[in-house]
Chain A
Amino acid sequence: MPYLWPPPVITGTIGGVIEAAGLTKRYGSTLAVDDLSFHVEPGRVTGFLGPNGAGKSTTMRMILGLDNPTAGDVRIKGQHYRDLNRPLRTVGALLEAAWRHPGRSARNHLRWIARSNEIPQRRVDEVLELVGLTSVAKKKAGGFSLGMLQRLGIASALLGDPEVLLFDEPVNGLDPEGIHWIRQLMQALAAEGRTVFVSSHLLSEMSQTAQDLVVIGRGKLIYQGTTEDFIDRATHQSVRVRSPQLAELREALTRQGAQVDEDDGTLTVSGMDSDAIGELAFATGATLHELSPRRGSLEEAFMQLTGEAVEYHAGDHGAAPETT
């Protein structure tokens, strides 16, 4: 039985820093992004969440003017990306860490990018220092590990000191220390008032980083709003109750409209929060031995929500999604 989610309500300021309206992208017979509208606000980390193949990378490429939308429109501060003057000074992006010439040194890679937007060359050394690549700056990027490449990609995103940052799955391939570093970095960037838009297919990851979420499945918007709200609405809350007066309590709860399951002397109550249950127990005169709220796992909830919108189901033709 699919979980029925209410239609998304778009709240917040109209006119975010990034503003997508009816964004649609079709590749041959694949509808990668389907009439997607969302906005991203400054001063916050906004997570862009969706399962594999949901259309996150495609959306990011359209934001940067690399792919042309089939329909609809996406703007940054009211402008199309291609109309930005020296765009790297406004928007920094890490889409794919592997985008570098393997024979070129990290420093030279950043040098040409800096030069293209008239960013002073000393900034190259600054960002190398910032991401911790100074010691390998003269080494060819072909020999870099995935983690080093991610750092190089982040360095190039930060080059122009941009107020808008896009990161496509930046923690891919990073060790726990690297993941922690990226989280801190994104939060610090947002705290400086920048707009940070970061994609992931893991809700657990986003729940620790992002204040806001844009959730998509099969190219369609599923949710836009705060992360807290999403998790609250996404996780079924249930409460575990133990009491010597189990039968009376159960009857009282059922009368109040809660759903109650009994298992081995324990009640699992849903549809009523622990405050209400405690008050009801007091009114009923039941002694409580346990009253503990339980949350379903985040990933489970996310899968339930996007379930209908997931493109690839395990065992579905056995085809693994291609990451682009």
Chain B
Amino acid sequence: MTLLAVERIKLFSTRSPWWCAVAALVLTTGFTALVVGNADEEFPATVASTQFGYSFGLAVIMVLAALAVTTEYRFGTIRTTFQAIPNRTAALLAKTTVVALLSLVIGEIVAFASWGLSLLLQPQADLALNSTADWINVAGVGPVYAFAAVMAVAVGILVRHSAGAISLLLIYNLAVESLVSLIPNIGDDIYEWMPFNVANKFLTGAGASNAGRAAEAGAPMSTSPLSPGWALAYFAGVALVLLGIAIASARRRDA
């Protein structure tokens, strides 16, 4: 608990988490407003369509999480941290936990804000959360943000430089996964197991939350063969393995 309090003080005594939370909220709800606000009979608003913008917030969250680590390297406070807490595993786990919890909260706020905004924009549309798929599609954004934050913290620990870590994360997030499917023959098989594609499977499942809207008028469906539950477990597993590698490396390295 002490270590969590330490990381909480650190995180909230700088401005960046607030800016990132606001940026995530504005970008995501802004996109949602465009999608849902322009819905009509051909493209009706659905629960899924209220969350099409979640990846904007996801990118911001990953930047926030990576910066939480890389600024410590940049300003030398990581050394003060390890001096105060020589058990580097404990120190880094505490930091990851606090950043992941903040991301979870931001994710829930962003998701329900997008959904609530959609209710206001399209009062006559069927946006009620009346199935598990509907609930997962909205409330699941928080856990996805949280584990994405864990990945970004891990990358931040490994790379240590803000610019390097952020470009790596954003390029991966925006381009690498979708480009993989362009590899002939094996591309699609690999793509099925790419973590953000799998995370999307957790959120959208088989498309039930998007019922009533033509599939081609929605965001591309995930090609992952996993069930939503296993998809989240897989995404979390990838994040934790990355974190394990990062912490092992931070333990060995000179601070």
Stretch from B69-77, B138-146, B165-173, B232-240 at the A interface: B69-77
Determine whether the beta carbon of B13 is less than 8 Å from that of A66: no
Residue on B nearest A108 in the bound complex, by CB: B13
Contacts of B77 in A (CB 8 A): 99-101
From known contacts A87-B84, A88-B84, A98-B76, infer whether A115 and B5 are also in contact, taking CB-CB under 8 Å: yes
- Tell me, yes or no, whether A29 is within 8 Å of chain B by CB: no
Determine whether the beta carbon of A87 is less than 8 Å from that of B2: no
From known contacts A87-B84, A113-B84, infer whether A108 and B9 are also in contact, taking CB-CB under 8 Å: yes
A residues in contact (CB < 8 Å) with B: 61, 64-68, 81-84, 87-88, 93, 95-96, 98-105, 108-109, 111-113, 115-118, 156
Contacts of B75 in A (CB 8 A): 98-102
CA distance A113 to B14 in the complex (A): 15
Residue on A nearest B94 in the bound complex, by CB: A116
CA distance A105 to B254 in the complex (A): 28
The 8 Å CB contact of B9, one of A99, A112, A156, is A112
Contacts of A118 in B (CB 8 A): 2
Determine whether the beta carbon of A93 is less than 8 Å from that of B83: yes
CA distance A141 to B9 in the complex (A): 15
CB distance from A300 to the nearest CB of B (A): 35
Interface size on B, residues (CB 8 A): 27
Determine whether the beta carbon of B255 is less than 8 Å from that of A67: yes
From known contacts A68-B254, A88-B84, infer whether A115 and B9 are also in contact, taking CB-CB under 8 Å: yes
The 8 Å CB contact of A87, one of B5, B6, B79, B83, is B83
Determine whether the beta carbon of A105 is less than 8 Å from that of B13: yes
Contacts of A117 in B (CB 8 A): 84
Determine whether the beta carbon of A82 is less than 8 Å from that of B86: yes
Contacts of B121 in A (CB 8 A): none
Determine whether the beta carbon of B254 is less than 8 Å from that of A101: no
Determine whether the beta carbon of B86 is less than 8 Å from that of A112: no
B residues in contact (CB < 8 Å) with A: 2-3, 5-6, 9-10, 13-16, 71-72, 75-77, 79-87, 252, 254-255
Q: Secondary structure at chain B's binding surface: helix, strand, loop or mixed? A: helix
From known contacts A82-B86, A116-B2, A118-B2, infer whether A111 and B9 are also in contact, taking CB-CB under 8 Å: yes
Residue on A nearest B12 in the bound complex, by CB: A108
Residue on B nearest A160 in the bound complex, by CB: B84
Contacts of A156 in B (CB 8 A): 80
Centre residue among B3, B79, B81 by max chain A CB count within 10 A: B79
From known contacts A112-B13, A116-B2, infer whether A66 and B84 are also in contact, taking CB-CB under 8 Å: no
Contacts of A111 in B (CB 8 A): 9, 13
Contacts of A65 in B (CB 8 A): 82-83, 86
Contacts of B5 in A (CB 8 A): 115
A and B contact pairs by CB, cutoff 8 A, 19 listed? A61-B254, A65-B83, A66-B83, A66-B255, A68-B254, A87-B83, A87-B84, A88-B83, A96-B76, A99-B80, A100-B75, A101-B13, A101-B72, A101-B77, A103-B15, A104-B14, A112-B13, A115-B2, A118-B2
CA distance A67 to B72 in the complex (A): 17
CA distance A109 to B10 in the complex (A): 8
Determine whether the beta carbon of B76 is less than 8 Å from that of A99: yes
Determine whether the beta carbon of B79 is less than 8 Å from that of A99: yes
Closest 3 CB pairs of A and B: A99-B76, A108-B13, A82-B86
Determine whether the beta carbon of A116 is less than 8 Å from that of B76: no
Other than the given A108-B9, A115-B9, 18 more pairs (CB < 8 A) read A61-B254, A65-B82, A65-B86, A66-B79, A66-B255, A88-B83, A98-B75, A99-B76, A99-B77, A99-B79, A100-B75, A101-B14, A102-B75, A103-B14, A103-B16, A104-B13, A115-B6, A116-B3
CB distance from B243 to the nearest CB of A (A): 21
Determine whether the beta carbon of B6 is less than 8 Å from that of A112: yes
Determine whether the beta carbon of A84 is less than 8 Å from that of B255: no
CB distance from A91 to the nearest CB of B (A): 8
Determine whether the beta carbon of B254 is less than 8 Å from that of A67: yes
CB distance from A92 to the nearest CB of B (A): 9
Contacts of B254 in A (CB 8 A): 61, 66-68
CA distance A67 to B79 in the complex (A): 10
Residue on B nearest A68 in the bound complex, by CB: B254
CB distance from A125 to the nearest CB of B (A): 16
CB distance from B172 to the nearest CB of A (A): 27
Determine whether the beta carbon of B86 is less than 8 Å from that of A84: yes
Contacts of B14 in A (CB 8 A): 101, 103-104
CB distance from B94 to the nearest CB of A (A): 10
Contacts of B15 in A (CB 8 A): 103
CA distance A101 to B75 in the complex (A): 6
CA distance A105 to B81 in the complex (A): 17
Contacts of A105 in B (CB 8 A): 13
Residue on A nearest B87 in the bound complex, by CB: A82
Contacts of B72 in A (CB 8 A): 101
Contacts of A99 in B (CB 8 A): 75-77, 79-80
Determine whether the beta carbon of B79 is less than 8 Å from that of A95: yes
CB distance from B157 to the nearest CB of A (A): 16
CA distance A93 to B83 in the complex (A): 9
Contacts of B83 in A (CB 8 A): 64-66, 87-88, 93
